[in-house]
Each structure stands twice: as C-alpha cells, then as structure tokens.
Structure 1
Amino acid sequence: MNKQIEKTVLRRIVLQYYKDGLSNRNIAKKINTSKSNVHHIIKTYHQNNQINAIKPPGRPGPSERTLRRLGRQIERTPATVSEELASHMDVSANTVRKYIPMLEYGARIARRKPLLSKKNKNKRRLWANKMVKMPTDYWRKVIFSDECRFSQFNDAYRTYVYRKKNQAYQTKRLQATVKHNGFSVMVWGAIWHGGRSELRLCSNSMNSEEYINTLETTLFPIFRNRRNKVTKRNYLFQEDGAPCHMSKRSQDFIKKSNIKKLEWVAQSPDMNPIEHLWYSLKRRLKQTKLHPSTSAGLFELLVKLWAELPQSLIDRLIDSVPSRFRALKKARGGSTSSEFKIQNRENDKCPAAVLNDQDEVTKENHNITVDSDEQIETTTIIGKVINKASPTNSELVVLVLKFAIFSILIWSC
C-alpha cells in the first residue's frame, strides 16, 4: 500500500474516533501511535477543514528511486566527483552534494594500501588460516624487524592551526616545506616482547652485504646478551621480502647462522607490529619541533626517541598480532584495517593497537581450542568452562544407570 494512502486511512480513523468522543490519549492507545501525532491530525483538520495535510511549499525532495540510483553510481565509482555524478542523473552538482548525506556517504581520505595481486591475496588467505591458530605466547617468541625512512621535513602529516580569515599566510600559521622533504635517513630496528634492538643507520639502498653486516652488529648481540633471555633456539626471526633480505647470499648467511625464520608472505606490512612503532616514532619526531641540519643530527635524535618509547607500547603491539591475523582471515587475504583504535595507557602518549579480542583472551586463559568453523556453546562457571556440546563420561554413566533402573521397574510391574 502506498505510504500516502496509509497516512490518509490513519487520519480518517483518528477523526472518526475523535467525532465519537474519545480523548486523544485513548485514540493513541487504540491505533498504537503517539498522543502528539493524534493531536497534530486533529489540529490540522480544524485549521484546514480537510483530512490530508496541506502540501508544503517548495520543490519536493528526492524520490527513493533517485537516491537508489545515486547510491549505485557512487558504489560503481567511489572516487568520482559530484560533477561526474550529476552528469549521469540530469541534476546539478550542488543538488547531488545535498543528496549524498541522505545516503550516509561522506568524503573521506582513501586509505593507502599495497596493491594486492590475486596470487598474493590467496597466499595471505592460506597464511591467515594457518597463523590464526597460534596463541599469544607464540608471538611473544618472535623478533620483528624492518627498515624505515625518516625525513628532515615530513609534510605527509596534516597540520591544523587556529586562524582567522586574513591570517592564512602568517609565518607561525604555515606548514614549512622543502624540496624532497629535505634529507632523509634509513634505519633498521627490531622488537620483541620485553625488549628492542639498537637503532641501526643504513644506506638508502641497502644491499646484501650491508644487511648481513647489520645482522652481525645489531641482531647477534641480542642473542649473546643473556639478560634478554633471547636465544636462537627459542626465538623466530621475522623479515619482509625486500630484495636485500631475500637474496641468496643473505638467506645462506641466516641459514648458516642457525637463525630460525618466521614464515612471512609478501605485501603484508599490516601484519607487522613494528609498522605501528615507526608511526609512533614519526609522531614523536614531529612533536619535538626540531629540524636537525645534518643526517647525523637526525639519526642522533631518532636514537634518543627510540630509547624513550615505552616498552609497554611494544608489548601491546606484539600482543595484537593474533587479532591482526583474525582480521586478515575475515578479509580473506585482502587489505585489513591496520588503523587500530588508538588509546593512551599509563604514561605513554603514543598510538597503540588496542583490539577487541576479549573472547580470544578468555579462550586462551582457559586453554580452550575452538575450531574457527564451529560454534560450540559454552558456559563459564567460576573460571571453569563447561562444554555443552557433548556430555562428560560421568554424565553418561549416570544416564545408563537411570535407564537400567527404569527398565527393571517396568519389568517388575
């Protein structure tokens, strides 16, 4: 039934009850509507002496069909502009801009993610299905490593300032930029639950020889330091698929050094917790408001900021890895939301991956293994989890005894 017809029928019913002498409250109860709605219908009838409300002046809003058509066009080309959308709908761009919020769309910055091939998507999907079963303790025995570039002036971040109309070009309200962001330095670092490596200065184009030298001077001291309790036997080493990492010379060196490697799929920076740490370090570098004039000065500042990063932040990032793989499995190998919820804890004012994995924590605390494709109903009683999917041995014995007693009673009768 047409909505307008439904409203007309409703108004007729209200007015008939009103003429019969019923109060607004009783009418509202009978037709299951609000008292204010009944009052509005009766008031409109007295003012205009007609059942239907007077049509409001002005151009009518968009029809549902028009909005559906606009929604389909946006889904086809989400990166388009309002002028392009308007050309397909015979309306102005200004009208389209008014319609878009009605569909709950908003202009947002597109997330930057690696372009994933079908082959790598499938590899990531299979990898996620395998790694998602690993508990948190497994990842606490992994050393995550990576390189990162830091620039003297990084204008990739947006800077917001308070200003009036005529203050846009005041020096203190400008974001200074230079060609190529000034000079930059490349650093190598590694983290694990409970510790971190020294920050190592690298060349902008690292080769196999330099990478091997980095491992010898930065990674090996970690294994030799007994205070770290990090050994080649108990820990896995993670590295991405950079050419200097995957070269035959580098891989032979790692194999001869008896370093156990963690399986890692290409184009998977969203699974590496050290990526968030680099982001945190860049934020701290920006907040210092310092712009060293030399590469050595910039590296010295980075070493200082690296040492000041709270270990609690690193530990939380390591513990977020299981949730990252759950997100990867849900995305079936596609891009995941690496922009985890940012929350400040204790005294560290840096972003941390805070993930909603309370259910998984509960399962790990109670040592429960639940298959990802099955849903088993469980009940928690004083820290113990009882599985309702099947009875226990003691329950089976009780059932058999009850059945035997019941059978004897029947035969005796």
Structure 2
Amino acid sequence: MPPIRSGRYVNNQYDTPSRASNVAQRSPRYQLAPYERAKLVELKAIGWSYKDIHERYSHIPIGTIKTTISRSRQRGPTEEILPRSGRPKALNDEERTMLLDLIRDDPHIKYDDLLSRLDHKVSRQTLWRFFRGFNKRKWLVLQRPGLSEEYAQKRRAWADRVRDYDSNKWRKIFFSDESTVERGKGARREYTFTRPADQIKERDIDPMFWAAFSGSGRRTGLIPLFGSPNAPRGGVNRMVILDLYQRVLPTLLNGIEGAIFQQDNAPVHTARIVREWLADQDFEVMAWPPYSPDLNPIENLWALLKAKIYEMHPEIKEMADNEETLGILINAAQEAWSELDTDTLDNLAITMPNRVKQVIDNEGWYTSY
C-alpha cells in the first residue's frame, strides 16, 4: 500500500515540513471546467458556505473549492485557466466522474471491473490513490456482530469453563446453526466501498438451512427451513425448531457416549418449549456465550459449503431471482454439502482449543476465526 505523504499544499505545491508530520494526504489535482468554477463562485456570492458547496458537489475536493473561489478575481472576466506545472493527469475529468458514479451505484464493484471500464489505461495503484484522494477505500463486508464489554466478559467466562476440554472432548460436541445461502454470494470474501457503519446487506432469494456436525464424523443432512416469509427470521419460529429437533436429534445424539449439543442463543432456540423438550430427552446442551459466531466452527463449514456450491454450479450466480432458482439453489446446496468430507469436520472441531485460548488471551474480545 502506498505511503501517505506528510505536508500541506502551498501555492499549488506540496510543501513538506522539515520534521515528520502525519497531516492529511495530498488530494489529487482537480481541473474544473469554466462553468463549474463560475457555479462555485456564484454559490459563495449568495451566501453558501464552503461546506455547503462541497456537500452539493461532493466530487470536488473542498480544498479545490476554496482555492477556486479565492482565485476567481485573479482570473478576470475571461475565466482563463492559470497554467499548471507537472505531468498530465492519468485520468481526465470524464473518467474521474465516471469512477465516482460507478462506486456510488455499486459499492461492491471490483477494482478489476473499474480498470476494465478504463481499458486498463492506469494501474491499480493509480486507482487506489485516486479514491484515497476522495476518502474512499475498500472495506471488508461486515460479518461479525458488535461486541460490548459485557458480552466480552461473558465470552471470557465461557472460555474459562471449557479451557480444560481436550480435542477428544470437542469431537463429541455437535455444533449446529442455521444459515442462508444467498445467490451469487459466498464464493469469495466480499469488499465494498461502503463504510462499515453504513453497510446494509441486500437480500435476494435466500433459502435458509439448518445442520449439525461433530468432529467424530457424524452430521445431519442439510435441512431446508420453511416458514412464513413475513415472520421474523423468515418464519423460523420456536415451533419450527421444536419440530426439527424432534425429528433429527434423537437419531443424531442417542447412543453417543458423552455427546453434547451446541446451539446459539437465538430466541427460537432458547424458547421454554424447546428447552423443556431437550431436558425431557436428557440431552446435555452446552451453554453458549452471546455474539460468538467466531467460536462456532460450523460458521467455517458454511463458508466452505458456499464456496463449494459455486465451484460445482457457477451458473447459479447469473440466474434470475425467482422460485425456479430457489429450487435449483436448494438442490445445489444439498449436493455440495454431501461433498464435504469427514476430515474437514474433524479439522474444524479440533480448532476449538485454540479458539478458547484466543478468547482468554484477548480477554473475551474477537478471535481470528
């Protein structure tokens, strides 16, 4: 990643102070057309502030706005552009405007697609510098929930309770969860120009599945969950979960000495009717800390599953969002699930001692998983 230069602009030159400084990065030069300069001067004349003008023309750096207005008297009535030194710009005004429009309309757009739109006339590093000049950068699409001090303490307390579990103990735990499989998503890590605080994940055709597995090689099938589309969580309520558990868990857990069932703290799992049934069956259920998807290895299994789907069926990414695609996606997901081998299950289960150690080392805060 290119370094951020220290210094400030003085008379259109980059002035570097004698001592080290961490002030703002130099903004790229922006050549305004005469009508743009006239509009900026006009708005300032009728009382607009520099901030108001910048909000109206966000593609123009605020420093350029201030300089343009302050020099308007020097240019005179012809609005003649003062000569500039230096090499020609890598991107012309039309291309710069196009790039800003593209990332506004599609924050997930990839650098390769942007370079293609420019016929690869510039390098990736040039694009990076251009966007940094407008305080734009690529962010990893958010996956983790926000932790608070209270939740971090609960995670640490949980880790202290299970810190002595060895790999064989973790192999007897059946990890479970639901997950949606979104069409065209999950094949690789996603990045976006949208800041984390502003990210809102769009949803298309999103079938929801439930599954459970253990490091001993035992697992359920990939089970679709259906309910009312107008209800929270796609209609997956406590009765749907109870019916699922009644059909699946006795076969999965009975006869396995030392088997422990893990589920998260979603209300549909912790509803009294579900807890009472689990207790009646004499199943041992692991207490689970809140906001802890990074501690559940099935989350990694979901990622492997989604990558497998698009490895086996890349055509699904281009299909329309309709009921036919939904059926195809469900079948593809179940086919991909069956292709995940038992060694993968075991490898994920035995990561648990290290996850627990990281929770303890980080005082309950995020792990690297």
TM-score category by the smaller chain? Answer: 0.5 to 0.7
User: In the aligned structure 1, how far is the partner of 2:140 from the partner of 2:19?
Assistant: 28
Local SS of the residue matching 2:209: strand
Counterpart contact for 2:172–2:214, Cα < 8 Å? yes
Do residues 247 (structure 1) and 271 (structure 2) align? yes
Kindly state the Cα deviation for residue 319 of structure 1 after the two structures are TM-superposed. Answer: 0.5
Q: 1:285 to 1:132 in 2, by over 3 A?
A: same
2:335 paired with 1:304: yes
CA–CA distance in structure 1, aligned partners of residues 18 and 140 of structure 2: 29
> Rg: which structure is higher?
1
User: Which residue is 1:183 aligned to?
Assistant: 205
293-302 or 135-144, larger mean C-alpha shift: 293-302
Q: How does 1:195-274 map to 2 (within 5 A)?
A: 195-203=218-226, 204-224=234-254, 230-231=255-256, 233-274=257-298
Counterpart code for 1:66: S
Structure 1 residues 3-402: aligned runs within 5 Å: 61=16, 63-67=18-22, 109=140, 112-154=143-185, 157=188, 181-193=203-215, 194-203=217-226, 204-224=234-254, 230-231=255-256, 233-287=257-311, 288-291=313-316, 293-338=324-369
Tell whether the 8 Å contact from 1:154 to 1:181 is kept in structure 2 after alignment. no
- Kept in 2, the 8 Å contact 1:198–1:218? The answer is no
AA partner of residue 169 (structure 2): Y
| Distance in 2 separating the partners of 1:145 and 1:159 | 25
TM-score of the superposition, structure 1-length normalised? 0.50
- Counterpart-to-counterpart distance in 1, 2:241 and 2:350: 28
What is the TM-score when the length of structure 2 is the normalising length? 0.55
Higher RCO structure, 1 or 2 (CA under 8 Å, sep 6+): 2
**3-state SS of paired residue (1:66):** coil
Deviations along 1:155-188, whole A, 9 cap, x unmatched? 895689xxxxxxxxxxxxxxxxxx9554221110
Size of the aligned set, in residue pairs, is 232
How far did 1:307 drift? 0.7
1:296 CA displacement: 2.9
The CA distance in 2 between the partners of 1:85 and 1:335, in whole Å, is: 38
Q: Is the 8 A contact 1:153 1:181 kept in 2?
A: no
Taking only the aligned residue pairs, the percentage that are identical comes to: 26
Listed as ranges, the gaps of 5+ residues in structure 1 are 1-57, 72-82, 88-96, 161-178, 225-229, 339-413
Taking the aligned partners of 2:266 and 2:62, their CA distance within structure 1 comes to: 42
Deviation at 1:310, TM superposition (A): 1.4
Relative to structure 1, is the Cα distance of residues 257 and 136 closer, same or farther in structure 2, using a 3 angstrom cutoff? same
2:55 aligned residue: none
Mapped to 1, the partners of 2:327 and 2:14 lie a distance apart of 66
**Alpha-carbon separation, structure 1, partners of 2:252 and 2:172:** 13
Letter aligned with residue 240 of structure 2: E
Q: What is the aligned partner in structure 1 of residue 67 from structure 2?
A: none
Deviation string 1:43-66 (CA, Å, 9 cap, x unpaired) is xxxxxxxxxxxxxxx977555541
Q: SS in structure 1 opposite 2:336? A: helix
Change (3 A) 1:265 1:84: farther
In the alignment, structure 2 segments of 5+ residues that lack a partner are 1-12, 26-59, 65-127, 192-200, 227-233
Pairwise CA distance, 1:336 = 1.7
1:196 aligns to what SS in structure 2?
Answer: coil
Alpha carbon RMSD of aligned pairs, Å? 3.5
For residues 349 and 186 of structure 2, the distance between their equivalents in structure 1, rounded to whole angstroms, comes to 29
Is contact 1:143-1:236 (8 Å) kept? yes
List structure 1 runs of 4+ shifted beyond 6 angstroms.
83-87
Query: CA offsets per residue over residues 172-223 of structure 1, 9 Å max, x none?
Result: xxxxxxx955422111000101221111110222111111111122222223
Q: Deviation per CA, 1:388-413: give whole Å up to 9, x if none.
A: xxxxxxxxxxxxxxxxxxxxxxxxxx
Cα deviation for residue 130 of structure 1 reads: 2.6
How far apart in 2 are the matches of 1:128 and 1:63?
A: 51
- Equivalents in 2 of 1:144, 1:85: separation in Å? 53
